[in-house]
Structure 1
Amino acid sequence: MIQGKNVLLRRLNHDDIPILWEFIYGEKDPEWKKWDAPYFPVGFMTRRDFEKEKKREAKDLYSNKMYIEVNGRLIGMVTYYWEHQPSNWLEVGIVIYEPSDWHRGAGTEALKLWVRHLFEKYKLIRIGLSTWSGNTRMIRVAEKTGMRQEGRIRKCRYYNGVYYDAIKMGMLREEWLSFSLKNV
């Protein structure tokens, strides 16, 4: 577990599974998906299959995910994947599921905790985050975490009849060290 001021990052527990299924599959077009890479479909998983998969994840001590809890409630998730492990480059992601939990600082705090944890756990050279130009809130959260825009791939994300840019955000270890000293 990683405890912040208002946010707890923790592993999945059994009680989270039905809540998580509802967040992801409980409604046809959830609001969170309109911002979290909406150009990629979510697909569907039955409750039973989802529960099997998540029970395996809950037992995995080396999971690449942690769940965001605020005031005893599950509200989202942070994750990472190796973009290129030989060069010590991770990509991170975050989702806060309910719009009522947006604009309260939990996402920023969770991402800061996650980035700090990953830099401390691994000998990373860099951490990146990919988003799209339609998600200005995610870009702002990444900036508040100390990341900066490193790339823009123009008009490559098509959503609701409009082309958007892919945005690459990132932070080098030395930038994180400098940022974390200023923001303690």
Structure 2
Amino acid sequence: MVCTDKEVMIRPIGERDMPRLWELMYKEEEPGWKQWDAPYFPHRRLTYEEFLNKKEEMVKQAHRWAIEVNEEVVGTVNYYWEHKPSKWLEMGIALYDPAYWNGGYGTRAFQLWINHLFEDMPLVRVGYTTWSGNGRMIKLGEKLGVKMEGRIRNVRYYNGEYFDSIRMGMLREEWEAAPWSP
């Protein structure tokens, strides 16, 4: 299965993607993307061999797909179950390659991911959690019509400053009414 808007594609991760994903995610001790993606949690550089030990968690999995722009892997989208019996699904996105930041690629990839999740699963809602220091992720959601559902104040401590935890979500009927919904 592949979802695409011609230039941006999301698809299951294949074994051929592992070298590029390692390079983007774990090759560097302090990758640039980490400043936006929960920097209050530590990041640990992995050797390629250590990364390959995670292959079973990534390759051909429904919960994590690769983002491609012009046939180059630049990031991933994912989901996890907050509470599967009630179909409470949380999702995420990471554009690891800074050459693709601020070009609308993340918005387009997340739109494809949301479409895929609602079309493939009997979900009532999709959502994600970010932090108030990541204005890009908040703005991405707002562009797609994802609503801020909650703000937990001063619970993320980073670089000597407290930030809020932000919960965002979209209901199925909001997705169906979105101008970009298929």
> TM range, normalised to the smaller chain?
over 0.9
Q: CA RMSD in A?
A: 1.4
TM-score (norm 1): 0.92
What does 1:47-126 correspond to in 2, within 5 Å? Answer: 47-54=48-55, 57-58=58-59, 60=60, 62-126=61-125
> In structure 1, what residue type is equivalent to 2:180?
N
What number of residue pairs does the alignment pair up?
A: 180
Aligned to 1:183: 180
> In structure 1, what residue type is equivalent to 2:4?
Q
Q: What 5-or-longer segments of structure 2 have no aligned partner?
A: none
CA distance in 2, matches of 1:177, 1:85: 22
* Secondary structure of residue in 2 paired with 1:15: helix
Aligned to 1:34: 35
> In structure 2, what residue type is equivalent to 1:110?
A
TM-score (norm 2): 0.93
* Secondary structure of residue in 2 paired with 1:18: helix
1:9-34 Cα offsets, whole Å, 9 max, x none, are 11212222111111122222111001
8 Å CA contact 2:27–2:46 kept in 1: the answer is no
Identical counterparts, % of pairs: 49
> In structure 2, what residue type is equivalent to 1:34?
Q
1:46 shift after superposition: 2.5
CA distance in 2, matches of 1:144, 1:83: 24
1:18-76 Cα offsets, whole Å, 9 max, x none, are 11111122222111001000011122433112123225632x4x430110001110000
CA gap 1:73/1:161 in 2 versus in 1, 3 angstroms: same
Aligned to 1:172: 171
CA distance in 2, matches of 1:3, 1:101: 16
Aligned to 2:12: 11
Q: What 5-or-longer segments of structure 1 have no aligned partner?
A: none
CA distance in 1, matches of 2:118, 2:80: 14
8 Å CA contact 2:29–2:44 kept in 1: the answer is no
CA gap 1:178/1:56 in 2 versus in 1, 3 angstroms: closer
